[in-house]
Amino acid sequence: MVIKSRLYKVIFGVVLVVALISGGILFYLTLVETMPQKSISLFDEIPLPKAGERILVFSPHPDDESLAAGGFIAESVGAGAIVKIVLVTDGNKHGKKETRYTEFKKATGALGVSPENLAYLNYPDGSLSKTDPTELDNSLKSQIESFGPEIIVYPASLDEHPDHKKVGQTVWEIIRNQRLRVFSYQYLVHSNYYPQPRRFDLNDYLLPPVKILNTYNWNKLMLSSDAEFRKNEAVREYKSQLRTPILKSLMLSLVRKNELFIVTKTGE
């Protein structure tokens, strides 16, 4: 009986310690909005595409392709994959369509994407929520059907920008309704406490906000030095955007040692 009593005490002690540690971690997470930099090791690495694989990237505005997936695009082109970028809106919210289109061509060129693999849908910047949903659905669906990608890269529907949210929701519905057999790579640009810290530092890692950490299957792509360089060059082509301090802070904070994607394999 004495031995059993001691055993129960030991088990109770172990359970209590585990509960205290778990409770401490949960309490810590309620106090912070971002994960510590060392937690990057907790995320699985996405595989790089192979030569000949087809990748379709949807960019709501001129710059999103570089900010969210510039490293992935550069790595994919370097591996021999075929990358096509679809620019959904005209970037003309402030009357800078021609400027932003020119920047888009230069930025995607820096990532290695040729002009013939760029598509322009010319929807009004900032007004996708007012666009006829059937028309937008058919337009995006046409791009997917004609290109036949193995991987589709597009905004996450949890993105707080209305244009990003609309593109993300529409593409996801197309993938689901058509039962497409593809890898879905969703990216995030606009969200509270993301990215953090707000600074340009190529030694920093990009990490998901704590509040949505466990809701989605986050994967990382660690960038090679060449991809880091190309992404940095691409982002800096958007000089018209970088002139605005708030935008500059966001844009340069997304240039890091890695990129993040919510990965889903569909159609199986």
pLDDT exceeds 50 at position 92: yes
pLDDT tier at 192, thresholds 50, 70, 90: confident
Burial level of 52, CB count in 10 A (0-12/13-18/19+)?
A: exposed
pLDDT exceeds 50 at position 29: no
The answer to whether the beta carbons of residues 69 and 151 sit under 8 Å apart is no
pLDDT at 1: 54
pLDDT exceeds 90 at position 221: yes
pLDDT tier at 109, thresholds 50, 70, 90: very high
Q: With respect to residue 74, please indicate whether it lies within any of the assigned structural domains.
A: yes
Give the residue, 23 or 69, on which the prediction is more confident: 69
Q: With respect to residue 206, please indicate whether it lies within any of the assigned structural domains.
A: yes
Q: With respect to residue 167, please indicate whether it lies within any of the assigned structural domains.
A: yes
Which structural domain range is residue 163 located in? 37-265
Laid out side by side, the sheet with 44-45 consists of 44-45, 218-222, 258-265, 183-187, 151-155, 54-59, 82-89, 118-123
Q: With respect to residue 137, please indicate whether it lies within any of the assigned structural domains.
A: yes
Look at the chain and report how many structural domains it folds into.
Answer: 1
CATH number at residue 52: 3.40.50.10320
Q: With respect to residue 45, please indicate whether it lies within any of the assigned structural domains.
A: yes
Q: With respect to residue 19, please indicate whether it lies within any of the assigned structural domains.
A: no
Q: With respect to residue 102, please indicate whether it lies within any of the assigned structural domains.
A: yes
Q: With respect to residue 122, please indicate whether it lies within any of the assigned structural domains.
A: yes
pLDDT at 172: 97
pLDDT tier at 3, thresholds 50, 70, 90: low
Give the residue, 16 or 108, on which the prediction is more confident: 108
User: Alpha-carbon distance 64 to 120, whole Å?
Assistant: 14
pLDDT at 143: 98
